[in-house]
Amino acid sequence: MLIVDNVSLKAGERSLIKNVSFTLHPGELLAVLGANGAGKSTLLKIISGEKKKFEGNVFLYGKNVNVYSIKELARKRTVLNQKNVVNIDFLCQEIVLMGRYPYFTNVPKESDLKIVEEAMEICGVSHLTDRSYLTLSGGEQQRIQYARVLSQIWDQKEALILLDEPVTGMDIQFQHQTLAIAKALTKKGYMVIAVLHELNLAAQYASRILMLKNGRKWKDGNAYEVLNQKNIYAVFNIDCQVNIDEDTLSVYIQNKMVVLDADDFCNPLK
Ligand SMILES: Nc1ncnc2c1ncn2[C@@H]1O[C@H](COP(=O)(O)OP(=O)(O)OP(=O)(O)O)[C@@H](O)[C@H]1O
């Protein structure tokens, strides 16, 4: 279980996160939504233990996240960051093997290599095993990073999977594949928190949605409760049509096209 208890974080005088509380249970997939700069990545960094100086408390499986040892925490939570900077020319298999670093000292065990193989297979990147990571496309790199993140908790009975914009740069097939894998893992008892910008993917895959606005919790509930026209306008300042299937209560959001007149913003002196 994850308990986020009245968490706040400031940068100077500015509040990045303000009094955010929620509880997550095994089996839940929480999508965190919000406009650019709403505080989604900051919240994930607090939960992951990356940001240590904040008000309030985060308890992961009953223990304060700030008192875990690095090694212990690495077995309880895994993180896919928004940006994954790699400058050294690793092979893809070596990148995924990094997920197993908390489990071996010098030489990976047979079981570590097997997990790397399995994680790469589920992420559809087995064919990239011996490729240089730096030669991959953006979407391929993202899928390798996802395999690394999964390999880190693959053999754990309980763990929290934190995904910051996991489907950015992926084609539509792998956007769905990525979230389908996350959802399948929740059925095994894992907890997942995914920052998403695509509202329909959140509606389809998340069991719960947390909307952030200016660092505060705006709404928390299922897609049917949270993804309505009013909330979407309040958070994203955009008009949309929300279609609801009354039998399944599934939600589908259609955005309206934005039309601009170039004369209104082009340099009038040109
Ligand atoms: N160290 C910092 N000092 C000052 N401001 C910061 C710092 N870190 C983040 N911010 C600001 O805090 C706000 C929240 O940042 P955060 O990265 O959490 O947003 P986000 O919701 O993930 O946005 P996006 O959708 O654009 O990724 C932003 O306005 C950002 O500029």
d(CA 242, CA 7): 32
Q: Say how far apart CA 263 and CA 65 lie, in whole Å.
A: 53
Q: How many CB atoms lie within 10 A of CB 267?
A: 5
**pLDDT per residue over 64-93, tens digit each?**
999 999 999 999 999 999 888 888 889 999
Instruction: Please give the distance, rounded to the nearest whole angstrom, from the Cα atom of residue 201 to the centre of ligand 1.
Output: 23
pLDDT at 86: 86
Cα 49 to middle of ligand 1, angstroms = 17
CA-to-CA distance for 139 and 145, rounded, in angstroms? 10
Residue of the CA atom closest to atom 31 of ligand 1: 37
Whether the Cβ atoms of residue 163 and residue 192 lie closer than 8 Å to each other:
yes
Nearest CA to ligand 1 atom 17: 41
d(CA 46, CA 60): 12
Which ipTM was obtained for this model? Answer: 0.97
Q: Name the residue of 7, 14, 16, 79 whose CB sits within 8 Å of the most ligand 1 atoms, as the mutation to test its pocket.
A: 16
Ligand 1 contacts (CB < 6 A) are 11, 16, 34, 36-42
Ligand 1 center from residue 13 Cα (angstroms): 14
All structural domains of the chain, each given as residue ranges with its CATH number in brackets, are 2-264 (3.40.50.300)
Model-level pTM? 0.95
Q: Which atom of ligand 1 is nearest to the CA of 39?
A: 18
* Gap from CA of 167 to ligand 1 centroid (Å): 19
Note the pLDDT of residue 85. 85
Residue 268 clears pLDDT 70, i.e. is over it: no
Residues 6+ away with beta carbon under 8 Å from 143: 123, 124, 125, 170, 174, 178
Q: Which residue has the tokens 């950015």?
A: 168
